[in-house]
Amino acid sequence: MKRIKTDVLVIGAGSGGLSVAAGASQMGADVVLLEGHEMGGDCLNFGCVPSKALIATGKAAYGQKNSEQFGVSNAAGVTDYAAAKDHVADVVATIAPMDSQERFEGFGITVIREYGSFISATEVQAGDTIIQARRIVISTGSSPLVPPIPGLENVPYETNETLFELREAPEHLLVIGGGPIGMEMAQAHIRMGCKVTVIEGAKALGKDDPELAEVVLTSLKDEGVEIAEDALAAEIRGQAGAIEVETKDGRIFKGSHLLMAVGRRANVDKLNLEAAGIEPTRTGIKVDDGLRTTNKRVYAIGDVAGGLQFTHVAGYHAGVIIRSMLFGLPSKAKTAHIPWATYTDPELSQVGLTEAQAKEEHGDAVEVVRFHFNHNDRAIAERKTKGFIKVMVVKGRPVGVSIVGYQAGELINLWALALANKMKMSQIAAMVAPYPTIGEINKRAAGAYFSPRLFESDMVKRVVGFVQRFIP
């Protein structure tokens, strides 16, 4: 058995782990990085990157079928499913070198391609190597949650870890789960010519503002996606090419392929947390505000920390713990400024409090301002007028923003900046946006906050009247 000592041991080479390893190494720490599966983790290989690449294929097909509105004859938009998967693989391969073992070894990091398991509070075994570390970071991410639905064990199904390897287009894709992953893949496949049924046990896109979610769901239904809500799967039966899902209320849905998209579970099974005195939770690993576990030498970041499950959160967590781990400075993880987006068409994005949350927390102090995409000149030119923005404002500061519409995932960036830095609506209004851009929507939303104060105020009108009459 080989033994090595290091300053920092990182378990998991996904977004968060790679950020910690690179940052710590380049600032002078001795770093060992463990990865038993794919460098780059779920995001690069099975999640964010391949899903967005497949969504791009769906958009291209949809654009061909709906080009007449721009004066271009509609085309068939026929998708070669295998070629689409080649496109996905090429996108992943193009990005992969940034997350590669060779690149991180170039930083001076020792990379060991084995899973890690704790054998003490300061030691982890990986294959035939035992690593003793002053600080340890768990960034093992999450995997698809596959619930124990009767019959599922006898029926072939896909998850996000297998879907992108599928080479033949599903004739009729059944999707169990109406969250972001399920809805994104449903729309991508309907646009590529498949039939699609989404089966959701509660409400589709149920974690988002229902008013905005309805805009997305209506769009998907208009494109042909069947969405069954309050449809809790009770039994699954059949075989490849002929699968049935029966729900608790007796409804039966038939399709050729099944995608399980009901959520994620933290990857903690291989870690032997008990040996290190680390307390698990139902959703991952127990951490304090600084992302330390119950073993103060060990941090947990990203999905495994049991909070928001987004790649950018793992990257943010990496920055939080580097400050503490390398410099001994106080550093806490916050969530109020963390944005997220669902990449359907139209897109759906959120940062801070929803309208319901803001009213619950701040009561009558909340003002909700809106601006609709159909009043934005660029959106009109692009035929992308579906959607709107809602900004929840308390005493002149935004506390939450919800956007549904074209490029909502891009538009939310400005509001994430505003919430992170406690900016005022006046600062957003002072921004000059180039015309015509979709980004003007943000400025116009700020304008909608000030308009009644300027144009409906008797005091303002009296002041203007006084200036016009008495000041030369």
**342 annotated binding-site participant:** no
Phi, psi for residue 258 in degrees, rounded to 5: -130, 130
**142 annotated binding-site participant:** yes
Nearest to 149 by CA among 248, 32, 50, 280: 248
Angstrom distance (rounded) from CA 433 to CA 240: 53
**236 annotated binding-site participant:** no
E strand segments, 42-83:
none
How far apart are the two ends of the chain, measured CA to CA in Å? 90
User: If DSSP codes are grouped into helix, strand and coil, which group holds residue 107?
Assistant: coil
**224 annotated binding-site participant:** no
- Which amino acid makes up residue 265? R
Angstrom distance (rounded) from CA 169 to CA 307: 35
**127 annotated binding-site participant:** no
**277 annotated binding-site participant:** no
State how far the alpha carbon of 198 is from the alpha carbons of 129, 183, 311, 417, in Å. Answer: 46, 8, 25, 35
Angstrom distance (rounded) from CA 17 to CA 10: 6
**14 annotated binding-site participant:** no
Cβ neighbors of 325 (< 8 A, separation 6 or more) are: 8, 24, 135, 137, 299
The four Cα atoms 40, 41, 42, 44 give a dihedral, to 10 degrees, of 0
138 has which bridge partners?
A: 11, 300
Angstrom distance (rounded) from CA 307 to CA 366: 26
**Whether the Cβ atoms of residue 11 and residue 17 lie closer than 8 Å to each other:** yes
**181 annotated binding-site participant:** yes
**Whether the Cβ atoms of residue 119 and residue 272 lie closer than 8 Å to each other:** yes
**238 annotated binding-site participant:** no
**Whether the Cβ atoms of residue 150 and residue 232 lie closer than 8 Å to each other:** no
**180 annotated binding-site participant:** yes
Angstrom distance (rounded) from CA 141 to CA 278: 16
**303 annotated binding-site participant:** yes
**218 annotated binding-site participant:** no
Angstrom distance (rounded) from CA 3 to CA 120: 14
Numbered residues of the known binding site for NAD(+):
177-184, 200, 263
Numbered residues of the known binding site:
52, 116, 140-142, 177-184, 200, 263, 303
Numbered residues of the known binding site for FAD:
52, 116, 140-142, 303
